[in-house]
Amino acid sequence: MIEARAAVVLEPGAVPQLTDVQIRPPVGDEVLVRVAAVGICHTDVSVSARFPAARLPMTFGHEGTGTVVEAGPDATAAMGQQVVLTFASCGECANCSEGAPAYCDHSTGLNMRGDRGDETSALRLHGTPVAGGFFGQSSFATHAISRPANTVVLPEPMPPELAAPLGCSVQTGVGTVLNALALAAADVLAVFGAGAVGLSAVMGGRIAGCRAIVAVDPVPQRRALAMRLGATAVIDPVDGDVAAHLIEVTGGGATAAIDTTALPDVIATALTCLRARGTLALVGLGALSAALPVGLIMGRGLRVRGVVEGDSDPHVFIPQLAQMWRRGDLPLEELVTTFSFDDFGDAWHSATTGGAVKPVLVMRPDR
C-alpha cells in the first residue's frame, strides 16, 4: 500500500478533513498519479453535501492533474507522463463508441457514485476500505488511481494549477460553445452566471468570434472579469429587467444562451432573451426541475438542450484546450486562485462562498 493524504468527508454534510490514507497499487489498465494540483468544482461541493451517510467516508475531487508514478500492465499512460484527470466513461456503450463519452450509459455510476468502498476500492482509511473513485479519480488527495478513459496525457508540459481546471469546468464552458452549440461570427451569446464554467464560456465565445457576448452576474468583480475575458457587455441581474436589457444591448436578443446557475427563474429569463430559433444550453447542476414557458418555446421555435462536459471527447478536446492556452486564447491565469493542499479548509470555504472563481489546491512536491 502507498501512504498518502486525502480530504475525506467523514459525516453527512461535513467539510472534508485532511487525513492519512493508504492507496493500493494500480492493477490492469489503471495508473497511479501523484497529484500536483486539483481544482474544487461546484459539483464536488453539491454532491458531497448530500452524499448518502451509508456511503461515507468518501473522498471527492475530479479536476486532478499530476504525473504517472506507477502503471498497471495494461495501462495506456506511461510513467513520468503529465496527465489531466477528467470524467469517467465505460468506452463500450453506443455513446462511447460514437465519440460521445460524456453521455456514457454508465456515467452516473462511474462518476457520481464512485466505487463500492469494498476490497476493490483504491482507498483505505486506517486499513479499512473506504469509498473513492469519484469521477474515476477522487483527486482531493496526494495520489489517485485512474483508468485510460479519464486519464488524458498532455503532449507538452503545462503548469499544474492551470491544467487542473481543464478536466471539468473549462472543458464544460468552452466545449459548450465550440462543440455543443458550434457558435460562429454571426452569433450572439448570453451567459448566465460568471463562475468558472460561465467565464470559460465567455472565452469560448471570443474564440468562436461571436459578434456579441453578454455575461449576466450579480457580482461586480466577476462582471469586470467577464469584460476582460471577452464579453462585449455585462448585466447586473438586480438592476431590473434582464431580458429587456439584454435584448437592447444586443439589438434583438441572443441566438444562444448558456445557463450555469441551474436556478429555475434564471432559466426562464434566459429563454425570454433568445431570438427566434435560438438555443438554450443547460450546464448547471442544481435544480432537478423547472417550469418552462412552453408557448414561448413553441412560438419562437426555441430549443432547450442539456450539455454534459461540453459534449467533449476529452482525449481530443483537452489537448486542444492546452494549445489554446499556449496561444494566449485561453488566459486561465485569470480564473485560478491557488491554495496549498494543507490549507484545504480555506480553499473549500472560498469555493462555497464564491470568494474565488476557481480555487485550485497545489500539493507540496515532497508529498
Q: What is the pLDDT of residues 101-115, one digit of tens each?
A: 999 999 999 999 888
Rounded mean pLDDT of 41-60?
92
Q: What is the pLDDT of residues 208-220, one digit of tens each?
A: 999 999 999 999 9
Angle at 221 between CA 219 and CA 226, to 5 degrees: 95
Instruction: Locate 125 and state its grid cell.
Output: 482509511
Residue 269 belongs to a domain with what CATH number? 3.40.50.720
Residue 74 belongs to a domain with what CATH number? 3.90.180.10
Residue 365's pLDDT is 73
Residue 118's pLDDT is 83
Same domain, 248 and 206: yes
DSSP E strand boundaries for the chain: 2-9, 17-23, 31-39, 58-59, 64-71, 82-85, 123-125, 128-130, 143-146, 151-153, 188-192, 212-216, 233-235, 254-259, 274-282, 303-306, 336-340, 358-362
Same domain, 38 and 147: yes
Residue 57, preceding bond cis, omega within 30 degrees?
A: yes
Scanning 50-159, the segments in alpha helix (DSSP H) are 94-97, 107
pLDDT higher than threshold 90 for residue 286: no
What is the torsion angle, in degrees rounded to the nearest 10, for the CA atoms of residue 98, residue 101, residue 102 and residue 105? 90
Query: Does residue 235 sit in helix, strand or coil?
Result: strand
Residue 87's pLDDT is 98
- Average pLDDT of the chain is 95
Which residue carries 453535501 as its cell?
49
Rounded mean pLDDT of 40-50?
93
Q: Give the whole-angstrom CA distance, residue 243 versus residue 252.
A: 10
Answer whether residue 318 is part of any domain: no
Q: What is the pLDDT of residues 238-279, one digit of tens each?
A: 998 999 999 999 999 999 999 999 999 999 999 999 999 999
Q: What is the pLDDT of residues 306-319, one digit of tens each?
A: 999 999 999 999 99
pLDDT higher than threshold 80 for residue 288: no
* Structural domains in the chain (count): 2
Same domain, 11 and 78: yes
Residue 366's pLDDT is 62
Same domain, 7 and 141: yes
Answer whether residue 142 is part of any domain: yes
Q: What is the pLDDT of residues 63-95, one digit of tens each?
A: 999 999 999 999 999 999 999 999 999 999 999
Rounded mean pLDDT of 120-137?
93
Of the listed ranges 1-15, 24-38, 113-127, the one predicted with least confidence? 113-127
Same domain, 11 and 123: yes
Q: Are 291 and 268 in contact (CB under 8 A)?
A: yes
Answer whether residue 206 is part of any domain: yes
Which residue carries 432573451 as its cell?
273
pLDDT band at 120 (very low <50, low <70, confident <90, very high): confident
Residue 116's pLDDT is 77
Same domain, 25 and 125: yes
Same domain, 348 and 209: no
Question: For the chain, how big is the Rg over CA atoms in Å?
Answer: 20
Structural domain harbouring 62: 2-153+335-362
Answer whether residue 244 is part of any domain: yes
Residue 367's pLDDT is 58
Q: What is the pLDDT of residues 162-207, one digit of tens each?
A: 999 999 999 999 999 999 999 999 999 999 999 999 999 999 999 9
Same domain, 111 and 203: no
Rounded mean pLDDT of 6-14?
95
Angle at 139 between CA 28 and CA 33, to 5 degrees: 45
Answer whether residue 249 is part of any domain: yes
pLDDT band at 287 (very low <50, low <70, confident <90, very high): confident
Answer whether residue 324 is part of any domain: no
Same domain, 34 and 84: yes
Answer whether residue 79 is part of any domain: yes
pLDDT band at 119 (very low <50, low <70, confident <90, very high): confident
Q: Are 210 and 232 in contact (CB under 8 A)?
A: no
What is the torsion angle, in degrees rounded to the nearest 10, for the CA atoms of residue 295, residue 300, residue 306 and residue 311? 170
Same domain, 191 and 126: no
Answer whether residue 139 is part of any domain: yes
Counting every residue written for the chain, the total comes to 367
Same domain, 143 and 186: no
Same domain, 125 and 253: no
pLDDT band at 364 (very low <50, low <70, confident <90, very high): confident
